[in-house]
Amino acid sequence: MTEKEKMLVGQLYQASDKHLVEERLKARQILFELNQLNPAQIGERDRLLALLFGKIAPPIQVESPFRCDYGYNIELGKNFFSNFNCTILDCAKVIIGDNVLFGPNVSIFTAGHPVDAARRNDGWEYALPVTIGNNVWIGGNVVINPAVTIGNNVVIGAGSVVTRSIPDDVVAAGNPCRVLRSVAGGDR
């Protein structure tokens, strides 16, 4: 298997692989253009986002600056909005549903590193996917870790660190993030 194939199936891989380095450079070149654009250049922004991401369902809006590793592993549903300073380390798939809102400084990490220092120092890492359902609001300064699924109709409170999956129809917050309550009829 190539290092990219290992990366995409969740096995240990070497991120320093020449092909992966080239793919990250390609993404960074697109990101450089995107993050330097005049905000009035909406058509050009949309063109660059379509070039960067693996799948999009317009309309979407991504405020600059935005950062990611590869871009092609990110799939966005319709009506996606990301506020300033979003970072998505997309070494594995990041699938985001319809009608999802990100506050500023949201970070999604699919990459992880071995606990064993010798393996980590040798450059090994792994990547596990992140999935976010439909109708989700992620508050500012939230960190979402590898292998997390966030259900539909969820609110994640600002400053949360999401280390495990969150079910549908709840409000969750904290470090580590935990379910606080169900979304109820009174919330309408």
Which residues, in sequence order, are CB contacts of 2 under 8 Å at separation 6+?
Answer: 17, 19
What is the chain's Cα-based Rg? 17
Residue 167: CB atoms within 10 A of its CB come to 15
Instruction: Name the amino acid, one letter, at 2.
Output: T
Q: Are 142 and 126 in contact (CB under 8 A)?
A: no
Sign of CA dihedral 6, 12, 17, 23: positive
Helical H runs in the chain? Answer: 3-8, 18-36, 42-52, 117-121
Catalytic residue check, 113:
yes
Catalytic residue among 6, 24, 93, 113: 113
Catalytic sites, residue numbers: 113
